């Protein structure tokens, strides 16, 4: 497996209310993108919403063994008891294939099984990534969420970036692999920071 270690953060269109607000926003970005596997396993943090969006196009199944192994390893690093995990198969339509609170190793195995058993017979040349991102953005139940997007189809990703839904990927960190990419997406990050800044400054 050949991996490009370059991380890219997309930051466009944010307008702060002043230097303190911009500082808070930068601090929040730093905290979000420093959410590491080690922190993910810390028993001290509160439960969070974990969203996993998997490109359901044929391109995913062409590299499914490698991708699935990587995803399962990342889930082991991130998830802690009490987290709410929701998994989308973003094929021609965005479909939830798993949604439950993780409280045991059996729960983790059930989540991994749902990913391993995504049927290749349903694969198409399209992936409704933007639909899954919109659903994930609207389902946040805790004060913090971690969204992982797996993209194996450059064409489908390009269509999202060229559409009005590109804003959903405004704040992202990217890990590039030989035939696919993993995005850590800061869904609703700017909204949460604006609210916190407003509360902090009493406005």
pLDDT, greater one: 86 or 16? 86
pLDDT at 18 over 80: no
Q: Is the pLDDT of residue 201 over 60?
A: no
- pLDDT class for 186, splitting at 50, 70, 90? confident
**HEC string for 93-107:** CEEEEEEEECCCHHH
State residue 99's pLDDT score. 97
Q: Is the pLDDT of residue 39 over 70?
A: no
Mean pLDDT across 41-45: 60
Top-confidence residue, 16 or 87: 87
Q: What pTM did the predictor assign?
A: 0.75
Dig out the tokens for 159 from the structure: 């269509």
| Residue 187 half-sphere exposure toward CB, CA atoms < 13 A | 26
pLDDT digit string (tens) for 59-106? 898 899 999 999 999 999 999 999 999 999 998 888 999 999 999 999
Band of pLDDT at residue 197, cut at 50, 70 and 90: very low
User: Can you tell me the distance from the alpha carbon of 52 to that of 74, in angstroms, rounded to the nearest whole number?
Assistant: 11
Cβ–Cβ under 8 Å, residues 183 and 149: yes
- Higher pLDDT: 139 or 26? It is 139
Which pair of tokens denotes residue 147?
A: 């969204």
């Amino acid at each position: 497996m050949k991996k490009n270690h370059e991380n890219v953060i997309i930051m466009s269109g944010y307008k702060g209310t002043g230097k303190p607000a911009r500082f808070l926003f930068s601090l929040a970005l730093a905290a979000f993108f420093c959410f590491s596997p080690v922190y993910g396993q810390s028993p001290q943090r509160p439960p969070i919403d974990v969203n996993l969006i998997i490109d359901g196009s044929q391109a995913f199944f062409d590299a499914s063994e490698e991708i699935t192994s990587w995803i399962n390893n990342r889930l082991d690093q991130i998830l802690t008891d009490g987290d709410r995990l929701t998994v989308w198969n973003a094929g021609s339509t965005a479909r939830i294939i798993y949604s439950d609170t993780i409280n045991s190793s059996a729960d983790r195995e059930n989540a991994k099984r749902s990913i391993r058993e995504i049927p290749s017979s349903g694969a198409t040349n399209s992936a409704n990534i933007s639909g899954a991102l919109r659903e994930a953005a609207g389902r946040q139940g805790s004060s913090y969420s971690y969204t992982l997007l797996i993209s194996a189809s450059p064409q489908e990703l390009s269509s999202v970036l060229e559409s009005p839904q590109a804003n959903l990927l405004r704040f992202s960190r990217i890990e590039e692999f030989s035939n696919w990419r993993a995005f850590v997406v800061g869904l609703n990050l700017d909204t949460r920071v604006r609210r916190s800044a407003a509360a902090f400054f009493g406005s």
